[in-house]
Amino acid sequence: MSTYRTPRRRTRLVLAAAITVTAALTGPVAVSRAATDRPAPGAAGLGDPMFPLDGNGGYTVRHYTLDFDWQAPRTPFAASTTVKATATQALSRFDLDFAGNELRSVTVNGRAAQTRRDGDELVVTPASPIPKGSAFTVKVGYTADPTQVRHRDDAIEDYGWIPTPDGTVLYPQPNGAKMIFPSNDHPSRRAPVTFRVTTPADRTAVANGRLVDRTERSDGRVRWTYDSEQPIATQLVQLAIGKFTLIDSKGPGGLPLRDVVPDALVAPTKQYRDLTPEHLTWLQEKLGPYPFNRYGVLVGDTDLGVALETQTLSLVPKADLLGTKVDAERNLVHELTHQWLGDSVGIATWSDLWVSEGHARFYERWYSEEHGGDSFEAAMKTAYENHDQWRHDYGAPAEPTEPNLFKRMRYDGSALVLYALREQVGAETFARIERAWVTQYRGKTASTADYIRLASKVAGHDLTGFLRPWLYGSKTPPMPGHPDWVVNPVVTG
């Protein structure tokens, strides 16, 4: 994670913004219900405060099917994506999020459509308008560019397609899925995905969810079919290809585990990968049943700086599993925590990222303290000392701006908010809040306001006045239970 300091100053508008954002995200639908059934263009974006054009209005995606004829790590290949959707308004045209790649053809319900590319928007005008409420199918044919990658100057670094020596892994967060397939690329939107990928005979393809079929074709290539089983946000899609060994085992309660490991890394990563059942047991004590049907660690043969919680199959770069046990477990527990918090309970907007990353860091540090790592309290005291500086540099926890989205405030700075809440309400009440959160919002998206509301309900008193200054204020509030903790003065420059 970089300590790069953004030159942008925060403006003081964000509590209001957080409220209007929620309205904006439902805007296109709400407007269409009130309007006539005259066909109109679907909105180009959902109005997210970080990425206003991400996601699209006027329809809901029910299913994606990706057909990829993969060749080699850096070789363009024939691809098509089939989007099954339902119109939430009468549509004269609509957008998909799609970046790069070479567009070949677009059909809507089997008929050729007119298209225009505008930045990362693919604007599709069907041969005839789509009535409100009707199901429709969009098929986009393209030549995929498996080298397409973008960069962020925060903890994300490179995202998109990540070529490896003998294949690829995906790093779609935050909005790189549009480089992989045309989609509604926003975390509030999720749909099931079917992956149909052909590879050379000496490679293995893996993806989120369950391996449905593996077929050796007469031309010597192999076709792999995966089903995500549960709906998935585009930023959490994984599709990896390589010379992999698949290692099956069972977790607590018989949960199917499948690690995906480059052949040469099977032995060197085994001792830490084998800790997954312990991690699951520990997290299930805190958060209740694991929310998906299966889990596994995908070891990335890449020097990628960061791991990613791709749903049911976390991507963990090899370096994270070749160092100390404490460091490896922090990364493994962090990504596993995200399966509950970030994957199962999704975020409503990117401004809610603190909920996902703060929780992952909170449980990561808590686990680590109990297993040979640093003191959780000492780490939180350090975060507390820096909190005004981070507010100044990166925005308050729930007030990111686009350039500082994945900076330290969203990690330790947001774990600190949860730590403060636990100090305020007590460990027992905090545990009930957390259980209620992952239970009530399982498989759904939820916002910062939802968290404040649920915490207040479970605690039995309104926590708005406590949590809002922590999440939105320019000054760090006093830490309950630690009157001696002091915030360092802000250094500007």
Residue 235 or 456: the one with the smaller Cβ distance to Zn ion is 235
* Residue in 58, 25, 3 with CA at minimum distance from that of residue 406: 3
Quick one: angle between helices 412-425 and 448-459, nearest 10? 20
| Residue closer to Zn ion, measured from CB, 132 or 359 | 359
Taking the least distance from each CB to Zn ion, the nearer of 348 and 360 is 360
Return the number of the residue (144 or 353) whose C-beta is nearest Zn ion.
353
Contact track, Zn ion, 213-252, x by CB under 5 A: ----------------------------------------
Instruction: Using DSSP, state whether 489 is helix, strand or coil.
Output: coil
Tokens of residue 260, six digits: 């995906």
Nearer to Zn ion, 145 or 357 (CB): 357
Q: How far is the CB of 314 from Zn ion (least distance, A)?
A: 10
Distance CA 143, CA 152 (A): 25
Nearer to Zn ion by Cβ, of 360 and 438: the residue is: 360
CB of 480 to Zn ion, least distance (A): 26
Provide, rounded to whole angstroms, the least separation between the CB of residue 299 and Zn ion: 18
User: Which secondary structure element, helix H or strand E, spans residue 76, and what is its range?
Assistant: none
Rounded to the nearest angstrom, the gap between the alpha carbon of residue 489 and the centroid of all alpha carbons in its chain is: 34
- Contact status, residue 370 vs residue 279, Cβ threshold 8 Å: no
Nearest distance in Å: CB 290, Zn ion: 17
**Tokens representing residue 213 in the block:** 């079929």
What is the total count of residues that contact Zn ion (CB under 5 A)? 2
- The residues that bridge with 183 in the sheet, in sequence order, are 97
Residues 67-86 that bind Zn ion (CB under 5 A): none
**Closest-approach residue to Zn ion (CB):** 360
Nearer of residues 85 and 308 to Zn ion, judged by Cβ? 308
Minimum Å gap between C-beta 334 and Zn ion is 5
Shortest spacing between CB 281 and Zn ion, in angstroms: 21
Report, in Å, the least distance between residue 249 CB and Zn ion: 24
Q: Considering only CA atoms, which of 13, 128, 142, 164 is closest in space to residue 82?
A: 142
- Least spacing, CB of residue 84 vs Zn ion, in Å: 31
The answer to whether the beta carbons of residues 265 and 298 sit under 8 Å apart is: no
CB 393 within 8 A of CB 403: no
- Footprint of Zn ion on residues 3-62 (CB under 5 A)? none
Measured from the CB atom, is 336 or 360 closer to Zn ion?
A: 360
Instruction: State the minimum distance, in angstroms, from the CB of residue 356 to Zn ion.
Output: 7
Span from 68-76, 129-137, 240-248, 359-367 in contact with Zn ion (CB under 5 A)? 359-367
In contact, 52 and 181? CB cutoff 8 Å: no
Q: Is 360 in the site for Zn ion (CB under 5 A)?
A: yes
Instruction: Give, as ranges, the residues between 421 and 450 that touch Zn ion (CB under 5 A).
Output: none
β-bridge partners, 207: 239
Q: Nearest approach, Cβ of 101 to Zn ion (angstroms)?
A: 28
CB nearer Zn ion, residue 95 or residue 357: 357
Instruction: Choose among 237, 311, 238, 249: nearest CA to 276.
Output: 249
The position carrying tokens 């905090």 is 430
Residue (87 or 307) nearer to Zn ion, CB: 307
Instruction: Output the smallest distance, CB 344 to Zn ion, in A.
Output: 14
Question: In the 8-state DSSP scheme, what is residue 183?
Answer: B
CA dist., res. 214 & res. 203, Å (int): 12
Element spanning 168, H or E: strand 167-171
Q: How far is the CB of 453 from Zn ion (least distance, A)?
A: 24
| Per-residue mark of binding to Zn ion, 284-323 (x: CB under 5 A) | ----------------------------------------
Give the separation between CA 204 and CA 222, rounded to whole angstroms: 9
- Mark residues 319-358: x for contact with Zn ion by CB under 5 A, - for none: --------------------------------------x-
Q: Are 421 and 380 in contact (CB under 8 A)?
A: no
Which residue in 240, 187, 180 sits closest to 211, CA to CA? 240
156: contact with Zn ion by CB under 5 A? no
Distance CA 20, CA 217 (A): 53
Closer Cβ to Zn ion, 183 or 235, answer by number:
235
Nearer to Zn ion, 412 or 450 (CB): 412
The residue among 61, 133, 121 whose CA lies nearest residue 90 is 133
Check residue 240 and give left, alpha or beta (phi > 0: left; psi -120 to 50: alpha): beta
Q: Give the H/E segment covering residue 262.
A: strand 256-262
User: Which residues of the chain form contacts with Zn ion (CB under 5 A)?
Assistant: 357, 360
